[in-house]
Amino acid sequence: MSIAVRNLTKLYNGTPAVNDISFDVKTGEILGFLGPNGAGKTTTMKVITCYMPPTSGVVEVDGLSIFDHSLEVRRKIGYLPEMNPLYLDMNVLDYLLYSAELHQIRGAAAQQRIKEMVHVCGLEEVRHKDIGELSKGYRQRVGLAQAMIHDPEVLILDEPTSGLDPNQIVEIRNLIKHLGRAKTVVLSTHILSEVQATCDRVIIINEGKIVADGSPEHLQRQFHSADIVTLELKTGAKDPILDIAPRLRVLAYVNTVTLLGHEGPVSRFELHADKGQDVREAAFRLAVSEGWVVLELRRNITSLEEVFHKLTMA
Amino acid sequence: MIQLSNVLAIFRRELRSYFNSPVAYVVIVVFLAIIGWFFTSNLFLMNIASLRVVFELVPLVFLFFVPAITMRLLAEETKSGTLELLTTKPVRDIEIVTGKFLAAWALLAAALAPTLFYLLTMLFLGSVDIGPVLSGYLGLLLMGGVYIGIGLFASSVTENQIIAFILSFLIILALFLMDKVLMYVPEGLASTMEFLGMDYHFSNIARGVIDSRNVVYFLSLLSFSLFATTVSLERRKW
Residue to mutate among B85, B98, B236, with most A CBs inside 10 A, is B85
Helix spans in B46-177 (H): 52-80, 82-87, 93-112, 116-125, 130-156, 161-177
With an 8 Å Cβ cutoff, are B5 and A104 in contact? Answer: yes
Confidence of residue B8 (pLDDT cuts 50, 70, 90): very high
Q: A300 near A260, Cβ under 8 Å?
A: no
Most confident residue range from A25-34, A296-305, B141-150, B210-219? B141-150
Give tens-digit pLDDT for B194-232: 888 888 888 888 888 888 899 999 999 999 999 999 999
pLDDT exceeds cutoff 90 at A104? yes
pTM of the model: 0.85
What does chain B come to in residues?
238
B186 reaches A (C-beta below 8 A): no
**Closest residue of chain A to B78, computed from CA coordinates:** A85
Map residue A158 onto helix, strand or coil.
strand
Chain A residues within 8 A of B5 when measuring between CB atoms: 101, 104, 106
**Closest residue of chain B to A73, computed from CA coordinates:** B90
Q: Which domains does chain A have, with CATH numbers?
A: 3-222 (3.40.50.300), 226-301 (3.30.70.3190)
B76 reaches A (C-beta below 8 A): no
Q: B172 near B222, Cβ under 8 Å?
A: no
A127 reaches B (C-beta below 8 A): no
With an 8 Å Cβ cutoff, are B89 and A99 in contact? Answer: yes
Averaged pLDDT of chain A: 87
B41 reaches A (C-beta below 8 A): no
Confidence of residue B16 (pLDDT cuts 50, 70, 90): very high
B92 reaches A (C-beta below 8 A): yes
Q: A130 near A91, Cβ under 8 Å?
A: yes
| Among the partner residues A51, A87, A101, nearest to B82 by beta-carbon distance | A87
Could you tell me the CA-to-CA distances from A214 to A40, A178, A202, A217, A219 in Å, in that order?
18, 22, 5, 8, 6
**DSSP code per residue over A26-42:** -TT-EEEEE--TTSSHH
Confidence of residue A226 (pLDDT cuts 50, 70, 90): low
With an 8 Å Cβ cutoff, are A85 and B82 in contact? Answer: yes
| Amino acid letter, A198 | T
Buried b (16+ CB within 10 A) or exposed e, B51-66: bebbbbebbebbeebb
**Closest residue of chain A to B81, computed from CA coordinates:** A85
Could you tell me the CA-to-CA distances from B95 to B9, B17, B161, B230 in Å, in that order?
10, 18, 22, 9
| Among the partner residues B85, B90, B237, nearest to A81 by beta-carbon distance | B85
- A54 HSE (CA, 13 A, CB side): 29
**Closest residue of chain B to A45, computed from CA coordinates:** B88
| Amino acid letter, A36 | P
A91: DSSP letter: B
Please state, in angstroms and rounded to a whole number, the distance separating the CA atoms of residues B70 and B100.
9
Give tens-digit pLDDT for B105-130: 999 999 999 988 888 888 888 777 88
Please state, in angstroms and rounded to a whole number, the distance separating the CA atoms of residues B16 and B30.
20
| Amino acid letter, B3 | Q
Please state, in angstroms and rounded to a whole number, the distance separating the CA atoms of residues B108 and A221.
66
pLDDT exceeds cutoff 70 at A302? no
Closest approach of B237 to chain A, Cα-based (Å): 5
A65: DSSP letter: E
Averaged over A209-237, what is the pLDDT?
A: 80
- How many Cβ pairs closer than 8 A exist between chain A and B? 64
With an 8 Å Cβ cutoff, are B89 and A49 in contact? Answer: no
**Which of A297, A215, A202 has its CA nearest to residue A248?**
A297
Could you tell me the CA-to-CA distances from A217 to A79, A168, B224 in Å, in that order?
28, 26, 57
Q: A32 near A203, Cβ under 8 Å?
A: yes
Closest approach of A80 to chain B, Cα-based (Å): 8
Neighbours of A187 (CB within 10 A): 26
Q: B233 near B156, Cβ under 8 Å?
A: yes
Please state, in angstroms and rounded to a whole number, the distance separating the CA atoms of residues A68 and A52.
14
> Judged by CB atoms within 8 Å, which residues 105-134 of B form the interface with A?
none
- A167 HSE (CA, 13 A, CB side): 3
Instruction: List Cβ neighbours of A287 (8 Å cut-off, separation of 6 or more).
Output: A233, A293, A294
What's the confidence (pLDDT) of residue A156? 94
Give tens-digit pLDDT for B51-71: 887 888 899 999 999 999 999
**DSSP H or E stretch at residue B195:** helix B187-196
A83: DSSP letter: T
Could you tell me the CA-to-CA distances from A21 to A18, A28, A29, A155 in Å, in that order?
7, 22, 19, 20
